[in-house]
Amino acid sequence: MPRKALLVLGLISALLHAYVGWRLLPDLPWGQTGLVLGLLWLAVSTLATPAPLLLLRGLRPHWLADALAWLGYLAMGVFSSLLVLTVLRDLLLLAAPLLPAAWAGAPLRVVSAQAVVLLSALVSLVGYFNARRLARVVTVEVPITGLPAALAGFHIAQISDIHVGHTIRRGYLDAIVRRVNGLKADLVAITGDVVDGSVARLRPHVAPLGELKARHGVYAVTGNHEYYSGAEAWVAEWRRLGLRVLMNEHRVLDHDGAQLLVAGVTDYSAGHFHPDHHSDPAGALADAPAQVDLRLLLAHQPRSAPQAAEAGYHLQLSGHTHGGQFLPWNFFVPLQQPFTAGLRRLRQLWVYTSRGTGYWGPPLRFGAPSEITLLRLIAA
C-alpha cells in the first residue's frame, strides 16, 4: 500500500479512537486505574486496528502475521461496536433536554458511558461466537414457472464468502465441507471469495474443497477477493482440486431427462484486474441450446442481476454482501448492491443472495448469521 494511503488510514484510526476516548473516558466512574487502562487499550487499538490492512502482506514469519491479524481484526471488531454506540450515545445526550429532569446531566452521562462499554463487550462476544461457529443450513424453496417434474425437488447447496486466510484455516473449512456433503445435494455452487491470500500460502487450508461431492459436481466462480490474491493461480488450483470453475461459460446438465444449464461469470469487478476477465452474463450463454428447462447463473455480486435478467436466466446465486455482517456495514451494503440477503425477484429472475459461509476481517457477525444454503426448486 502506498505510504500516503498508509498515513491517511493511520490518521483516521487515531482520530476515531481519540473521539471515543474524549467522549467516554471522562464520564466513566472507574477511577484513575480505569482511566489508565482505558487510555492503554485505546492506544493499542489505534495501532492494531489498521494493521491487517496495512502491514500483513508478505510479513514473515507466517505465525507472526497470523498473530497480528488476530489482534488487529479483534480490535477492529470491538472498536467498530464501540464507535457506533458512542455516536448513538452522543445523539442521546443531544436529546437530553427532552428527557425527565431526573435523567438530565451527570446521571445520564455516567450511565450511558458505562452502557456503551458493556454493550460493546457483549456485542463483540456474541458476534465472535456467531462468526466462529459452524454455519447453519438455511433451506430455501425457489418457485419456477413451468418447471418440469424431473427438476422439482432439485437441490443446490450454496457456499460463499468463506475467506480462508489469517483467521479461517483448514479445520474451519473441513467442518463446512462435511456439513455440505451431508446434504447430498444434486449440485454444489461456490459463489466466490473463498480465499484471502496466495495459493502458495493457503493451498493446504483450501484442500478440503476437493472433498466436496454432489451428483452433478461442484461449480465455482471467482469473487473480488480472488482478484486481490491472484485469481488465475486460484482458478488453476481449484480445477486441480476437481472444481468446475466457470469463467463466463456454461455447462448443460441432463437430470432425469430434463435440461439444466448452469453458467458462471467472473466477478463483477474482474475487468479492472484482467481486461479479458470482464464479467459477461450474456456471453456465458454463447452457443447454449435455445431450449433448456432452467438457466442458473452463479455470479459473486448481486449487481450482476440486471444483466442476468436481460439474458433470460431463471435463477441467480450470489454472495458478496455478508448480509452486512455487523454494524455499521449493514447500512452501507444497500448503497452498493441491489440485494443484501435472501430470495428476491427482479422481473422474471429470482436472485438469492447468501449472507456468506465464513466472514471477512473481524471474527464478528451480529444480526447477519453465516449460512450454508440448500435451495430446492419447486414448480410455481
Answer yes or no: do 111 and 67 share one domain: yes
What is the Cα–Cα distance from 181 to 40, expressed in whole angstroms?
47
**Which residue in 72, 75, 104, 89 sits closest to 20, CA to CA?**
89
- The continuous run of DSSP H or E covering 69 comes out as helix 62-94
Query: Is the Cβ–Cβ distance between 41 and 47 less than 8 Å?
Result: no
- The continuous run of DSSP H or E covering 362 comes out as none
Cβ contacts of residue 105 below 8 Å, gap of 6+? 96
**Which residue in 80, 225, 96 sits closest to 166, CA to CA?**
225
Indicate whether this model's pTM tops 0.75: yes
Task: List the chain residues with pLDDT less than 50.
Answer: none
Single-letter amino acid code for the residue at 199 = V
Domain around 85: 3-131
63: left (phi over 0), alpha (psi -120 to 50) or beta: alpha
270-285 pLDDT, tens digit each: 999 998 999 999 999 9
For residue 262, which phi and psi values (nearest 5 degrees)? -115, 120
Answer yes or no: do 150 and 124 share one domain: no
Handedness of CA 72, 77, 81, 84 (dihedral sign): positive
Answer yes or no: do 169 and 78 share one domain: no
Q: What is the pLDDT of residue 365?
A: 95
Answer yes or no: do 67 and 111 share one domain: yes
Query: Is the Cβ–Cβ distance between 326 and 77 less than 8 Å?
Result: yes
Domains held by the chain: number: 2
320-371 pLDDT, tens digit each: 999 999 877 778 888 889 999 999 999 999 999 999 999 999 999 999 999 9
Answer yes or no: do 83 and 231 share one domain: no
C-alpha cell at 352: 438469492
What is the Cα–Cα distance from 273 to 191, expressed in whole angstroms?
18
Residue finishing a domain among 100, 131, 162:
131
Residue finishing a domain among 97, 131, 165:
131
- Strands 258-264, 294-298: parallel, antiparallel or unpaired by DSSP? parallel
| Whole-Å CA distances, 194 to 82, 125, 166 | 29, 25, 13
For residue 335, which phi and psi values (nearest 5 degrees)? -75, -20
- The continuous run of DSSP H or E covering 319 comes out as none
Q: What is the pLDDT of residue 326?
A: 85
Neighbours of 26 (CB within 10 A): 10
Answer yes or no: do 254 and 202 share one domain: yes
Per DSSP, the chain holds a count of helices (H) and strands (E) of: 11, 12
CATH code for position 372 = 3.60.21.10
Sheet (strand 155-159) strand order: 136-144, 371-379, 155-159, 187-191, 218-221, 244-245
Answer yes or no: do 168 and 277 share one domain: yes
Answer yes or no: do 167 and 311 share one domain: yes
Answer yes or no: do 82 and 203 share one domain: no
Answer yes or no: do 152 and 94 share one domain: no
Query: Is the Cβ–Cβ distance between 264 and 219 less than 8 Å?
Result: yes
Query: Is the Cβ–Cβ distance between 349 and 308 less than 8 Å?
Result: yes
Residue finishing a domain among 131, 162, 197:
131
Answer yes or no: do 169 and 101 share one domain: no
Answer yes or no: do 197 and 234 share one domain: yes
- Contacts from 270-274 at CB under 8 Å and sequence distance 24+? 270/222, 270/224, 270/227, 270/231, 272/227, 273/227, 273/231, 274/227, 274/231, 274/232
